Chain A
Amino acid sequence: MTEKFHEELSELKKQVEDMGELAKEMLETSIKALKEQDVMLAKSIIAKCETIRILDHTIEEETLKLITLHQPMASDMRLVATMLKMITYITRIGRYGNDIAKIAIDLSEEAHIGKLVSLPQMSAIVCSMIDDALLAFETQDISHIADFKEREDTIDAMRYSIYREGISYMMENPKYITRCTQYILIARYLERCGDHACKMAEKIHYMVTGEHKEIDYKSCCSPNQDTF
C-alpha cells in the first residue's frame, strides 16, 4: 500500500512539473506572438488554457484523494502541501500567458512602438525563474532558487521602467495611449508571474527544508519573517 502511495505521489509530482512546463511555455510563446505579431501562434496559446484548467482540477482532486487515503507525513506531507499550492500559482501563470496572447491578437494589426525589446527581456527573466523553480522542485535542490530576490528586484525595476517609458510615449502622442496601456498591462502581468515564481520558490524551500521563508519583497513588509 505504501509503495502504491509513493508511486502515485511520484506520478502526481511529474504531472505538476509538466503543468509548470506548459504554463511557462504559454507565457514564453505569448510574448513571442506579441513581438512577432503572429496571430496563429497567439490563438494556439489560448487553446491551451483549457488544458491548464483541467490539470489544476485533476491534480487537486488526486492530491486530496492521496491525503484522504494515506494521510501523508513529514516530507511526503510537505510535498503534497507544496503541490497543492504550486498548481494554483502555475494556473495563474498560464492564465497570464493566455491574457497576453489575447492582447497580442489585439495589437497585431499595427506596428509596435519601437523595437519592443524590454518586454521580451523581462519575460526571459520571469521564464528563467519559472524554469529554476521547477528544477528545484524536481531535484529538491534549493540552490536553483537562491538568487530569486535579486531576480525579483530586477523584474520590479523593469516593470517600472516600462511604465515610465509608456507614459512618456503617451504624453508625446495620445494616439499611442491604447497600445502603451497594453504594454504597461503586460509588464504588470509579467511582474505578477515573477511573484508567482517566488511563491513557488518559497513553498519549494519549505518542502525541502521544512522551514518557512519568505522572499523579501521590496514592496512588502514582514519584519518577523525569515527571508531569503
Chain B
Amino acid sequence: MLNIFSVRKDSTTESEKAAALPAKDETMRIEGLDISYGSNHAVKGVKMSIKPKSVTAFIGPSGCGKSTLLRALNRMNDEIDGCRTDGVVSWKGVNILDPKVDPVALRSKVGMVFQKPNPFPKSIYENVAYGPRIHGITDKAQLDKIVESSLRNAALWDEVKDRLEESAMGLSGGQQQRMCIARALAVEPEVILMDEPCSALDPIATAKIEDLINELKKDYTVIIVTHNMQQAARVSDYTGFMYLGELIEFGETEQIFQKPKEKLTENYITGRFG
C-alpha cells in the first residue's frame, strides 16, 4: 500500500477535521469546492458525494467547469499556473487538497485517462509496466503478471498479447485509449477519472470503451466527463449537470435524463441551449 497521506496523528488540522471519513455509501465527498484561474471563477461551491463502484458523469456546456472539477479530484490542477483551489475533497478521511498530501501518490490511487490517447513512445509492455516500475516493482515475473492483468481488464489483451514489444504508437486510436486505461489500472487505482475518453474515437472504438467502463465499475469507481449526453445516459449511474461553474443538478442518471428537476437541466439536455 502506498503511503499517500503524510498526515501525522498528533497534528489534526482544520482541513483534516473537515475531511471526516465519508459515509459508507460514498467514496469521495466534495464540499464547498471553489476553483479559480486568476480572476476566472471556474468552479463555484460544488458539493456532492461520489458513490463507490459506480460511474458518475459530469455533463454541461463547454467552459462550465466540469473538466476543472474532475482534475481537482487527483490534484491535476496543481500543474496549472495561477489555479487556486479551496474547499474539501474528502477521501479516506483525508482532504486530498491538503498540501501535505503527496499528489503523485494520490494519482496512483486516483488515476486519469485523458481526451486524447497519450501513449509513451515505448513498447506496449513498457507503457503498462511504466507505473509499477516507478513505484519500485522490478521483478520481471511480477511485472509480466501486472501487464497481463491490466491489459485483460482493459479488454485489450487478446488484441495485443502477441505484439507486446511493438511500439504503442502503432496501435489504433481506440486501442491506444484502452492501453492508457490499462496503464492507469497497472498501479492499482481505486478511482479512475476519464476526461472525454471517447471524443477522439470512432463509434466502434467508443462502444468498446463504453463496454469497458461498464466492466470497470465492478472493481473501480469511475468518474467521467463527457460532451456526449447519450454516452452519459448509457454508461453512468449518476449524473451531475454543471453550468457556469455551478453544479445545477446531481442525481441518478435515469432521473436526470427522464425527469430533471431543474429547468436549466431540462433545457440543456433537450438541446434548448448549449
Contacts and interface: CB of A to CB of B under 8 A. Distances in A.
A, B co-complexed: yes
Interface of A: 2, 5-6, 70-78, 210-211
B2 to A, nearest CB: 41
A71 B258 contact: no
Given A71-B230, A73-B229, A75-B266, A5 B271 contact: yes
A73 B259 contact: no
Contacts of A211: 259
Nearest to B256: A74
Interface of B is mostly: helix
Contacts of A71: 230
Contacts of A70: 271
A74 B264 CA distance: 12
A9 B236 CA distance: 27
A6 B270 CA distance: 9
B251 to A, nearest CB: 13
B201 interface: no
A115 B258 CA distance: 51
Nearest to A76: B270
A75 B230 contact: no
A158 B255 CA distance: 41
B9 interface: no
Interface in B251-270: 257-260, 265-266, 269-270
Given A72-B270, A74-B260, 11 more contacts: A2-B272, A6-B271, A73-B229, A73-B269, A74-B259, A74-B265, A74-B266, A77-B257, A78-B258, A210-B258, A211-B259
Chain B interface extent, by class: 10 to 19
Interface of B: 229-230, 233, 257-260, 265-266, 269-272
A6 B273 CA distance: 12
A161 to B, nearest CB: 41
Nearest to A2: B271
Contacts of B257: 73-74, 77
B235 to A, nearest CB: 14
A74 B266 CA distance: 6
Given A210-B258, A210-B259, A74 B270 contact: yes
A72 B269 CA distance: 8
Contacts of A5: 271
A48 B257 CA distance: 39
Contacts of B233: 73
A70 B270 CA distance: 10
12 contacts: A6-B272, A72-B270, A73-B229, A73-B257, A73-B269, A74-B259, A74-B266, A74-B269, A75-B270, A210-B258, A210-B259, A211-B259
Interface centre among B230, B265, B269, B270 (most CB of A within 10 A): B270
Contacts of B265: 74
